[in-house]
Structure 1
Amino acid sequence: MRLIVLLFFILSSSSLLAQSGANLGPNSGAYPKIPSGQLIQHTWHSSMYPNTVRDYFVYVPAQCDASVPAALMVFQDGHTYVKEEGDFRVPIVFDNLIAQEKMPVTIGLFINPGHDINMEVPDNPWRVSNRSIEYDTLSDRYVQFLEEELLAEIKKQYHIADDPSMHAICGISSGGICAFTAAWRRPDIFQKVLSHIGSFTDIKGGHNYPPMIRQTDKKPLKVLLQDGSKDLDNEFGNWWLANQQMAAALAFKNYEYKFMKDSGGHNGQYAGQVLPESLTWLWSDKVPERMASKVYRRPNLGVQNATMFSGETMHLSHLQCDAIEIKDSMSFFDSDHEQLFIVIDGQVSAAVDAKKQTLPNHSVIFLAQGDHLKISRRDTTSLVYHLSFAARQAQKEQTPSFTVSYEEVAFTEHSKGGVRKYFDTSTHMCGRFEMHMTTLKPGLKSHLPHTHKAEELIIMIHGKTEEEIGNARYQGRSGDIYYLGAHVPHAIKNIGEQPAMYFAFQWF
């Protein structure tokens, strides 16, 4: 039996070793404007597992404040999760998601399994001597090792939250079942679990978990499982079926769980591709609810007043966009919000505090707090997008209202199309307040995915585009609006046959 287990680990580790990091999305890339955390390597000699030595790594985010308790996430087989060119690149993903406020400020603890100090160190880190002893055993010994040794050690240096719902644990293959065992045995320490291709098979009894889950009182756990339909199938069991049984058992007991599946094998490729989404879901209960970065569709014509989106953002306590068909004279006043009016279709007459003018299609009106606007149509149909917003904290003194007529904005041609610069200023609500209109030639991408502190709306005027937002892709046409949250990587491409035109409006 021991020979069979050893052969399994040689074969499975070869599969795990074949990691390339291919097809990772923008949220797994490093960006110069994203604050970078620090990764520190250490060595540990264990007393719980005598005569073993291991390396471990501690990730400290740039936003870490010693006066504020941080969340904690522990990774088994730490070497594969911190590898710069590997499938996961967790420190980079943490940098991005923490900056985007999609996960809390989190200390990462990446632990390698132990190896006998009397044995030669293998070239393959998956083949260290103590991996199966620590990971596949269903007892509480490993989580006791974490609690009494490594967690106790890092708590000497970092302010870790005591709340177990602020503690997550993750692993791949045998490390996946190890992560679940740690939380199952000690939900007073860990209440969030992320398992990649978890070995819930009969290596050392892991196949018993599904009935145990069904027959045991529900525990305060949030669990994400990931597996592929071409995962291992051998004398210990079928990994794909075992993970499906785990998911079914969690569903039966009404656990908060998610099962992310694909057609992959026993490796971390798909797990790495969906890691940003996995972490976003796992930590969603510990971050503020924000307006989603995605495309918001133009409402059907004939609707006099339709709200396209409304919510909070990182920089704004409130942001709302209403599509308004101007039929008669309409008045606007708000003492709490700044407002922006964008003429999408037709001409309008606008009077800001009794100063009246005619504005053509694609003109813009900024209305300061406490100012009055009267607007009426000049064409059969006039469609206006009305943005209202309030900052979390005022930036400066009151800013005067202003208008920008499309006819007065010069067009500057460049190799990808051209640009019209509407304004670049600051307001009472926003330290940066900038808008331009871009013309983008067919088949071209504006730029590679990049990030910035500013939040942004891309308001489509003409053409068909595709916007990368984080790891997702959305398509937009005339009148659609892309919302891009702060620090979210993004890039737009013209996928139509004609030049595309769109407003880009940024603020912070």
Structure 2
Amino acid sequence: MKIKYCVYFSYLDYRKLLMSFLFVSLCSFSFAQLLPVLPGVYRWADRSVKVNGDRESGVFLEGTAPNLDYLRIHATTQYKGAKPSPAHINKEREELVIVKEGTMKATIDGKTKVLGAGSVLLIMPQQMQSFENIGDGPLTYYVMQYKSTKPANLERGRTGGGSMMLNADSLVFKSTEKGGSRAYFDRATAMCERFEMHVTQLNKKGPSHTSHSHSETEIILVISGETEMTIDGKEYKADAGDFYFINSELLHGMRNAGNAPCSYFAFKWN
């Protein structure tokens, strides 16, 4: 009987050990899936789109980045007459929202504003938010969710200006020899020591500036025209809706690839 008891006990231990191993393996596999975002171009046509009733959403990327434990970028389209997105709070993530097309009624922490194409929202963690399509056509917007490697600093975010809703029409466009630019913000946030964002327009074919590098990670989101970019010695092309991702310290240079004007958002952070 003792021998049978010992064998039976060993079998139970084996099952427990096996289940523990499988659990740890699954957890490790899940964490391993969250890989660093690679530099290069992310195309509008390549996003993974899912339709859900009166709206659709497509993910471009999800992973980690310099100074960020988590980074996810997707685009959502609310069809005409769609119900408002359910009010919700992101407890541990900050968000940058860019209106691609349509008219948005945005509500953040009880404040409401109507925003058109080119408008931008910066939403701190722990703020109630909701978006509604109030236009005659579809409403499409990009959403960048991110969480810093360091703990969120809500006081720093509030001092920097808190959550913001910036209508593109209210911002000044400054002309330059090559085209012009429109500044959105340059500030600290709850997740970033510095976050800067602007729009650049290039009226003629050619470079925006000489190739350079910086400590901030940067995204270039193409609004219109044909563009080219060199990132770390590799050549990429992007059209309206696509964006380039440039990791910290990588040498890069942006160019207008066509004879017609091009324009793009540039935003960087650390």
* TM-score category (smaller protein): 0.7 to 0.9
Matched, 1:343 2:89: no
Cα separation, 2, equivalents of 1:439 and 1:359: 21
- 1:47-87: CA deviations, max 9, x gaps? xxxxxxxxxxxxxxxxxxxxxxxxxxxxxxxxxxxxxxxxx
Residue type at the aligned position of 1:321: I
- Which residue of structure 2 lines up, in the alignment, with residue 456 of structure 1? 218
Structure with greater strand share of residues: 2
Residue type at the aligned position of 1:465: T
- 1:245-271: CA deviations, max 9, x gaps? xxxxxxxxxxxxxxxxxxxxxxxxxxx
Alpha carbons 2:113, 2:165 under 8 Å: kept: no
Distance 1:460 1:375, change over 3 A: same
| Structure 1 alignment gaps of length 5 or more | 1-287
Matches within 5 A, 1:10-89: none
- Which residue of structure 2 lines up, in the alignment, with residue 413 of structure 1? 175
- 1:313-343: CA deviations, max 9, x gaps? 1111111001100233013420010011100
Distance 1:374 1:413, change over 3 A: same
Matched, 1:297 2:43: yes
| Partner of residue 391 from structure 1, selected from 144, 148, 161 | 148
- Which residue of structure 1 lines up, in the alignment, with residue 21 of structure 2? none
Q: Aligned-pair distance for 1:302? A: 8.3
Residue type at the aligned position of 1:383: T
Cα separation, 1, equivalents of 2:175 and 2:235: 28
Alpha carbons 2:50, 2:58 under 8 Å: kept: no
Residue type at the aligned position of 2:41: V
- Which residue of structure 1 lines up, in the alignment, with residue 113 of structure 2? 357
Residue type at the aligned position of 2:60: M
Residue type at the aligned position of 2:207: K
Residue type at the aligned position of 2:129: L
Residue type at the aligned position of 1:451: S
Matched, 1:426 2:188: yes
- Which residue of structure 1 lines up, in the alignment, with residue 64 of structure 2? 312
Alpha carbons 1:395, 1:431 under 8 Å: kept: no
Cα separation, 2, equivalents of 1:475 and 1:316: 26
Q: Aligned-pair distance for 1:289? A: 4.8
Cα separation, 2, equivalents of 1:488 and 1:332: 36
Cα separation, 2, equivalents of 1:356 and 1:502: 27
Q: Aligned-pair distance for 1:474? A: 0.6
- Structure of higher RCO (CA pairs closer than 8 Å, 6+ residues apart): 2
Alpha carbons 1:417, 1:440 under 8 Å: kept: yes
| Structure 2 alignment gaps of length 5 or more | 1-33
Residue type at the aligned position of 2:139: S
Structure with higher Rg: it is: 1
Determine helix, strand or coil for the equivalent of 2:255: strand
Aligned length: 221
- 1:120-167: CA deviations, max 9, x gaps? xxxxxxxxxxxxxxxxxxxxxxxxxxxxxxxxxxxxxxxxxxxxxxxx
Q: Aligned-pair distance for 1:378? A: 2.3
| Partner of residue 474 from structure 1, selected from 236, 248, 254 | 236
Matched, 1:333 2:89: yes
- 1:400-456: CA deviations, max 9, x gaps? 211111011100001111000000000111011110000012212011210000001
Cα separation, 2, equivalents of 1:302 and 1:392: 30
Distance 1:307 1:374, change over 3 A: same
- 1:257-312: CA deviations, max 9, x gaps? xxxxxxxxxxxxxxxxxxxxxxxxxxxxxxx9521000001147885111111110
Give the alignment's Cα RMSD to 1 decimal.
Answer: 1.7
Alpha carbons 1:416, 1:444 under 8 Å: kept: no
Matches within 5 A, 1:220-299: 289-299=35-45
- Which residue of structure 1 lines up, in the alignment, with residue 25 of structure 2? none
| Partner of residue 164 from structure 2, selected from 372, 380, 402 | 402
User: Which stretches of structure 1, 4 residues or longer, exceed 6 Å deviation after superposition?
Assistant: none
Cα separation, 2, equivalents of 1:472 and 1:345: 31
Determine helix, strand or coil for the equivalent of 1:312: strand
- 1:145-202: CA deviations, max 9, x gaps? xxxxxxxxxxxxxxxxxxxxxxxxxxxxxxxxxxxxxxxxxxxxxxxxxxxxxxxxxx
Identity of aligned residues (%): 29
Matches within 5 A, 1:115-130: none
Matched, 1:485 2:241: no
- Which residue of structure 1 lines up, in the alignment, with residue 208 of structure 2? 446
Superposition TM-score, scaled by structure 1 size: 0.42
